[in-house]
Structure 1
Amino acid sequence: MNYSIKEVAEKFNISSYTLRYYEREGLIPSVQRNDNGRRVYTDIDLGWLQLVCCMRATGMSISYIKNYVNLCTEGIDTLPERRNIMIEQKEIIKEEIRKYTELLKLVDMKLDYYDEKISKDELKRFIGRKREKH
């Protein structure tokens, strides 16, 4: 199936400018153009873009991704090197998860504190209203 730049940008929630930039940088190899010179993206291109977006989301630099894409286009001999890049990214992601887990614990502690305070204040108000009635 073929997709326009607008369709791809919407599908991946990125701008057309970013999409063209990724192509210019060689992160999406060999995007075809139609007779009018407009980009035509294939499912293969979408696969590349999905990988690029994933790598960017994990903090990988454009130059690092470019190196990875170049290794991919060189063929099967680069499999060990590509695997090592993915192992490094996996470790980066795991560290980010650890950091966010700690942040979540702190937020949960604050919420517990607020819930406890709110509950005590509501209880005091309830008791105070009961005394006023008697």
Structure 2
Amino acid sequence: MSYTMRDIQEKTGLSAPTLRYYEKEGILPFVERNEHDHRLYNDQNIEWVKFILALRATGMPLVEIKQYVESYKKGESTISERRNIMLQHRKKVEADMSQTYLHLERINYKLALYDTLEAGLNNKQIKV
């Protein structure tokens, strides 16, 4: 199935300039064109965009995504290299998540203090 630029924008939430940029930079591979030179996207392109969005949302820089894509284009001989890229990124994401969890614990602690203070000011009994 083929999709237009507008279809991809609706499906991914990315703007046309961003999609064009990703393609130009080699981050979004395998985009085909029709006889009028309009981009034609397919399900594989949608999966790539979703993958790129996941990597970006978890902090991977575009230069590293491009490195991954270039490695992917070289074929099966780069599976180990691509796996290592993903392993390194996973370690970073896990560390970030751990740090975020610690921050959340501090926020929850502060909220518990406020709940206690409010209960005391309102002469309510705190129920555990």
Match of 2:107 in 1: 107
Code of the aligned partner of 1:123: N
In the alignment, structure 2 segments of 5+ residues that lack a partner are none
Runs of 4+ in 1 over 6 A off after TM superposition: none
Q: Hey, what's the Cα distance between the residues in 1 that align with 2:7 and 2:99? A: 35
Percent identical residues: 35
Q: Report what 1:41 is aligned to.
A: 41
Indicate yes or no: 2:85 matched with 1:77. Answer: no
Q: How many residues align?
A: 124
Q: If the length of structure 1 is used for normalisation, what is the TM-score?
A: 0.86
Tell me how far apart the structure 1 counterparts of residues 72 and 33 of structure 2 sit (CA, whole Å): 22
In the TM superposition, what are the counterparts of 1:1-134 in structure 2 within 5 Å?
1-123=1-123
2:123 counterpart SS class: helix
- Shift in Å at residue 72 of structure 1? 0.6
Amino acid at match of 1:36: H
Could you state the TM-score of these two structures normalised by the residue count of structure 2?
A: 0.90
| Residue 75 of structure 1: how far off its partner (Å) | 0.7
Partners of 1:6 and 1:112 in 2: CA distance: 47
Deviation at 1:34, TM superposition (A): 2.4
Structure 1: gaps spanning 5 or more residues: 125-134
Give, as a single letter, the amino acid of the residue that structure 2 aligns with 1:92. K
- Between 5-14 and 78-87, the greater mean CA deviation after superposition: 5-14
Alpha-carbon RMSD across the aligned residues, in angstroms, is 1.3
Computing the radius of gyration from Cα coordinates, the structure with the larger value is: 1
**Equivalents in 1 of 2:116, 2:68: separation in Å?**
51
Whether the aligned pair in 1 keeps the contact of 2:52 and 2:65 (CA below 8 Å) is yes
Amino acid across the alignment from 1:20 = R
**Quick check: which one's helix share is greater?**
1
Q: Is the contact made by 2:12 and 2:46 (CA closer than 8 Å) also made in structure 1? A: no
